[in-house]
Structure 1
Amino acid sequence: PTCAAPTGTITVTAPTGAGLAYSIDGVNFQSSTTFANLAPGSYTVTTQSAAGCNSTSAPVTITTAPGTPDVATTTATQPNCSGVTTGTITVTAPIGAGYSYSIDGTTFQASSTFANLAPGTYTVTTDNSGCQSVTSTIIIDPVPTVPAVAATTVTQPTCAVPTGTILITSPVGGGFTYSIDGTNFQAGTTFANLAGGAYIVTVRNAGGCTSATAIITIDNSPVPAVAQASITHPDCFNDVGRIDVNAPTGSGFSYSIDGVNFQNGTGFIDLVPGNYTITVKNINGCISTTSVTINPVPETPISASVTVGQPTCATGTGTLTITGPLGSEYTYTIDGINWQPGTVFNNVLPGTYDVAVQSNGGCKSETTEVVLVPPVSDIVITGAQGCEGWNFESSYMLNASVSGANASTDSFVWTNAAGETVGNGTTFNATEYARLNAFSPSEYPLELTLTVTTPGGCMADYTFEVDGTFCDIPRGISPNNDGMNDNFDISGMNAGKVSIFNRYGQEVYSKARYTNEWKGQGDNGDELPTGTYFYVIEHAGSNKTGWVYVNREQ
């Protein structure tokens, strides 16, 4: 089948001849070798001889009639301003094997592109196995024309108007746009506020064709550049300021800060605080202006008020706190080098410091001298020890005299040689301590220390050495070297001199600054016999006397 004939035909080409018949359904036979007007489908041709013998062909397929192709989709490339005077039509769909194309309905080609087309109207016919579709009209435009080069009027900068203007006088009208940088186009014909420099005006028409002028020069502005100046403000040592013009400079320029009086020099000195307008005038008489300010004279702060926290024995450092002047505009120092916004200086070592205040303007106050004193303990402890009173069986007491301490706030602690706390206060009963701990004579002397500590950590101590705690005068001794009652021990009595007499009143022994040296011997070192002896103990200007029995048999 074709687009023109939608049915197919099967023609038997062999075997042919008299006596043969043909069928495509196996039932109805004919002598003709042609089967026409066949619908699409599969057929088997049966050939039958005169004798009734049959043979069958392989299946024969009648295909479906081809459909009409889709109308072509096309793109057109138009003639342009760059010398391409013809156009192109390109078919983008449908494309592929079996398709052919024509722009005159007669001449077909497999290529989907038609180039070098003169301006005019065209239609594209797409053919597929004889079936065809036709596009609507496609127009190739006439070759575009280049616009005329712009005619312009140029207005140069003046003192009053420091920029230039380019005005396009032709070509003008709808469809034209203009540019002075070749990139940005506008419909307006005026380019104003132009700085000095070279410009080229480009004209573009509706067809996209452009023309460009020769270089058009806008003169540099006759107005001098605005002054660039260095400002010196009043400071703590100078109450006037200064203005120095850094640019523009050179011959032909003059300068003013009041708009009336001009000078060739670039410096203006001894200026009081306030607002000024710097005017620059060039040789053409053109001027430029800019405003500057001379700051007020900065304030000098008052001297610092300081609260001093003195070092303590616990920390060793103190604290300085600024109590005035205060504010975010101030910084502070205690060494003249390192400044801080904070008003507290912690961990300050003992010494003399000069505290100063500085304002934002850099003005510094007179210094305030403060002294941090090293922490020293004022506590002084002196000790006295001995038996209470001058009586038998009194206690051996340790008495501390403490100056520079506060009994209501300071601690008074007694410790033994092992560092154990054994008492409080300024007195200590060594006899009671010895009794409770059952010390033997071999454990003497005892060391007992009183430590006084302030809340600030300052401390002082005093150590007592106790040779004995016996405050009763022995009534007898047994000097047999058994370690018990061998000596006449009055070490706790703070005796001066001890003298021993026999029953006949004869002095047999004496010892100054006596403690416990007599064990029944005479001055010559010989042992005295068992018996009763008379003693005289000198103590603080008074004497104590009595009898002591010496027993060598126990």
Structure 2
Amino acid sequence: MISKNTLRKAFFLIILCLLLTQNSYSQCFEIESILVDACDGDTNTEGLNEMVRFKVGPVAINTSNMSVDWPSNNWGGLIQNAGTASKVASLNAAIVAAGGCGQVLQPTGGVLPANATVVLVTSYNFDTAANSFGALTSNIYILFQNSNTITGHFGNFGTSATRTLKINFGSCSDTVTYNRSLLTDQSGQNVASDGATVVFTPAGVATYINNGCVAPVQTFTVDAGTVTGSICAGNSINLSGTAVGQQSVTWSATSGTFSSPNSLSTTFTPSSASAGTTITITLTATNSCGSQISDTVNITVTNAITPNFNITPLNICTGSSVPTLSTTSPNGITGTWSPSAISNTASGTYTFTPNSGQCATSVSLNVTVGNSIVPNFDVTPLNICSGSSVPTLSTTSPNGITGIWSPSAISNTNSGTYTFTPNAGQCATSVSLNVTIGNSTVPNFDVTPLNICTGSSVPTLSTTSPNGITGIWSPSAISNTNSGTYTFTPNAGQCATSVSLNVAVGNSIVPNFDVTPINICSGSSVPTLSTTSPNGITGIWSPSSISNTNSGTYTFTPNAGQCATSVSLNVTVGSISALISEECTNKALLLNVSPLSNSYNPNDVDYIWKNANGTEVGNSENFNATEYVSGISNPTFPMTFTVTVLGDCETTAEYTINGISCNIPKGISPNGDGKNDEFDLTGLNVNEITIFNRYGTKVFSHKNYTKEWRGQADNGNELPDGTYFYVIHRDGIEATTGWVQINRQRN
């Protein structure tokens, strides 16, 4: 007797086997689509161009045991040779030309990788020109049947009948079935048409499509849709495009805006400036390879009519009657107002919206409902002098309120209040003007005539008199060059009279000191400043005496009562110094002097060079020390020279040289024979030298160097013969690098 536990185990194994059988189907491969009605032009060679697409599961499969049960014809096996490679190359070239970045591949060793997309073509004589793979964005594998059968392997459109395709890979297979009566053309009609394709779900459910003469792979297409009629300027239109194989889309136009420029569905609003024109709208699709394709539609934009209502803003009194809002404008535009009727209790905006189909714009009317309007006369109280002219009282305010004044005219003899009463029906209030009549006041300025010297200081004209009258002077300030009359006019409303001041201006005497600018050298004697000019003007100088150390300006101010002007003398105190530097030019040591001065042109100087004995040896800014030393028998160093620079001022500088060598030796022979024993850089003003061996290791360094290196290391040990490298540092010159060789030449 079989136990219940044994039965449970047997049942579990049966269920597990069923599950594994089901998984082996879905995990091995799945047929995804069939190009049933292949494109063959007029050659009737459809059997060469039919295609099946399938998807490999998570484990690679080998085509060595592949077989196909076609609805028609026999399985011819697979072929892969130079001919199929040529077909693949042609397909890949067309993919690149279409903007794709994917490739069509043939399997290596018959192995289809895991998760690969595969297209099986019914013949190696496949027509690549008639069946585009388009802008392919990912790699797919292609298999060619070893067949040249031109009759179709599938049943094209016809009466209702099912056709079955089965593909085997030994241990697994997949079967799909379609109904030939459901095949469609590109518009979706059930008729015979090239490009008829069947797409299958993993469960084998068929969908019938037609993308034209393309391989059963994802296409790259874009369609901007259709637009009928025209659009009114300022209105919007909905656009709906389609795209396949895109990564992104973008709408663009010659003018106007899009609500969602990167979505297939969007709303387009043309600009008001585009009225009366045709706008081209473009939908551009970009695939994952970065390639772009576009499609366009044209939209005609018409001018919008403005309803010609009178929309001048209204001001009405609370509770008064209001106009009726007509639903038809004088130029015939019909529509509705919102709100539909004007309120006489609350202010608001009333908007007219044209009925649809009229290509007209909306207009608005602003209505202000308020209490009584105040006539905006200037009712600032008036102060008028007795007997003077008075303003006229207008019977219409600036804001359009009409009425009467009481009294009707202003008196220039009696003070009073004048009241304006608006005419009936204007929703306006009364206003009043106060007028005060008074006697004239004389501003009590001191207007005694003035006599002043030309160029001398003048009094300021105050705009307020001692008795408090404010106003303006004309001219506003007293001139110290021209005589004239200055009149004070009181500001309005003070009931005051004008007064005048006469000013006479005379010529000033110029003290005739010699004020030609003076240049003196620092520390030299200076002239004395006289307090009386040759033409008799007395006064004081500030500063009172000339300094021989600092430049400055000295101003003479005449004593009071002479009607004379000030004069100034500019004194420049200069100094000179000299900077001597050396340089090597054409293997000659030159001493160069640079004069530094703050009082003269540095180029307008003389130079005198002398040796240590005081003998003149040169007269230019450059002294050739090499040439000088070369003319001396047994010269000794150090050697000192002085240079005197003569300009507006004079200075002398001194310079000592330790040699005249301007060449850096390429080698030394420190063998004690007294010839070329040292690395002699005398006269080059070397701050520091560092010497390295050929391995880059520092072996010797010395500051303020002249000729201390004789082939020894820093520790005094003798260095081996060979090539060494140096770095020389000098003031104002970039570091010099090079090589020097030690060759002791011992016998």
Q: TM-score range by the shorter chain?
A: 0.3 to 0.5
The answer to which structure has the higher strand fraction is 1
> TM-score, normalised on structure 2?
0.26
Q: TM-score, normalised by structure 1?
A: 0.33
Larger Rg, first or second structure (1 or 2) = 1
